[in-house]
Chains A and B, each alone.
Chain A
């Protein structure tokens, strides 16, 4: 089981051919109080980098991009009913959707947890 991160601040935890996707702790901090979440339909086929979900804080609406291509197989209704869960446990209970990976080699384009930490450091310097 490995967790990867995208430059758009999504994480994906991969187990076998399936990945669980959410937004990073950094992303939820930047958003502030999350008040609304919109998830894709189960069965939707998505491409890597495609906007598939929406997360809205008091401040603004943001797209959530799928870090990989594949088919959405499960969504987390708990965050639709209780959007604040995204602030409480962004990289755990507040996952957004599960996806059946179309091409596991796409994971090579993503960052490890350590590389993502370094990436965040470059953002805060700017």
Chain B
């Protein structure tokens, strides 16, 4: 039995094809979000990778900001629950999840059995999210995916005080004009994001194991800064950005089992 989980986010589309709720047949990330061809592209990509046709999918379930735009999905589940489900699959001991996506950041608290018990999300402001880092990367003329590596070269602590993306942008520009090193500025940006997001984690209560998911978790600098802020070690699974899509595919498997039991 094959299930599809598709996570149509604000900036990227992710898909996972799962066999019997266990084996990942194909996974893919396309850097195009809701309202674009991203969802269709990522869908076609995973089909091709697994060598199957759409008819062979037994159940498709969508999540993410654009979850209602994917017609093949029989059901939609919020990305909050999908992330929890996906991360538990990747890290069965996870109790606290910090997820930083394109335009939101959230902290999730799980019961020992993995049930999602509480979550806190960022407020209306995009500070502390992937979009914040995108803006900063553009100002600094670096690739956002390189920020983690560059920040490792930092030798000096610089603070970025403004949480507002617009104000922080001018603050970064003024740091640049006073000839601060880019590595130091990036480390400062990471610390700023970590401070903001860790507040959410502390509000749901940090219990080990702490896991990070979402595209921003691929940035080692942010993970380090988060560990420092919350005082706990953070695990980042390899497929951290796919947690939502994986969770959706797992929920799809649950739905299939339910249908089977009912039938």
State whether these chains interact.
Answer: no
- A residues sitting closer than 8 Å to B (CB atoms) are none
- B residues sitting closer than 8 Å to A (CB atoms) are none
